[in-house]
Amino acid sequence: MLTLYTHPMSPCAQKVRIVLSEKNLDWDKYDVNLPEKENLTAEYLKLNPLGVVPTLVDDGKAIIESSIICEYLDDKFPQPGLRPADAFLISRMRFWMKHIDIKVHPSCGALQWPLVMAHKLKQLPQAEQDAIIDKVIEKPRRERQRRLLKMGYDAPDVKDAVATYEKTIVDMEKELSKQPWLAGEEFSLADAAMAPYFQTLYQFGWADWYKSRSRVNDWYERVVSRDSYKNAVSVDFDEAKLADLNAKGKEAWLKIQSYLKAG
């Protein structure tokens, strides 16, 4: 039996949920309470020493890191396959997955975290805020969260995140002029991995960012219309939640636009 430790708003958990759904697998869901830092409890750290979601537990064995989980699922449950047949296209698929892990994911964190996570922490006394951030396992993440908590959208991380997203969208527009999906003629793990990072733009009301790029916009529309996306992502965003996130994203969008304009 498969159990996924997840969170509705986590893009890297969403990508695993898309893959589970593409493969029509049965799985149990455990929602980890990230705002309450359940991910840093001793019990959860036994499963995932990095203290993050997602974690997949298969037959008692924990698999961590979302891209590795996606490849594990494709190895263990090969039908339908989510990797291209051609070795070069597999290399392209892995390029995108690596780019997402290294660049897009932290950028998404910089844009999203001040709007959804920092708010709760800021209600605590300063010493408690510091103590919570001190427990974050990975140093780059810990320091990023500290900066974002203190500086919000004025943190340098946000400016870098905007540049990374912009370059990613431009590069995708180029790639998608050659082929319908990021790694060729078929939907692959690369598309499953990228899609949640566009959910972030959509949910905060920043869709104009990609809508002016016709191929990227068309790609995302095709992704969103798949059952896997509806089951894995859209299901967690009802109208009330989207309205709340849209409202939270309004002021941030002005800042993002000013960073885009400044280049």
Q: Which is nearer to ligand GSH, 10 or 168 (CB)?
A: 10
Tell me how far, at minimum, the Cβ of 112 lies from ligand GSH, in Å: 8
Q: Which is nearer to ligand GSH, 146 or 211 (CB)?
A: 146
CB 222, CB 178: distance < 8 Å: no
Nearer to ligand GSH, 142 or 213 (CB): 142
Q: How far is the CB of 211 from ligand GSH (least distance, A)?
A: 24
Three-state secondary structure call for residue 259: helix
Of the candidates 116, 120, 109, 105, the residue with the CA atom closest to the CA atom of residue 147:
109
For residue 27, report the phi and psi dihedrals to the nearest 5 degrees: -155, 155
Output 20 or 34, the one with its CB closest to ligand GSH: 34
Min dist CB 86 to ligand GSH, Å, is 25
Give the whole-angstrom CA distance, residue 75 versus residue 179.
25
Phi and psi at 185, nearest 5°, equal -85, -15
Residues within the interface to ligand GSH (CB under 6 A):
10-12, 34, 39, 52-54, 65-66, 101, 105, 136, 141
Which is nearest to 12 in space by CA: 67, 62, 57?
A: 67
CB of 167 to ligand GSH, least distance (A): 20
Nearer to ligand GSH, 12 or 223 (CB): 12
CA distance 135 to 113: 17
CB of 218 to ligand GSH, least distance (A): 26
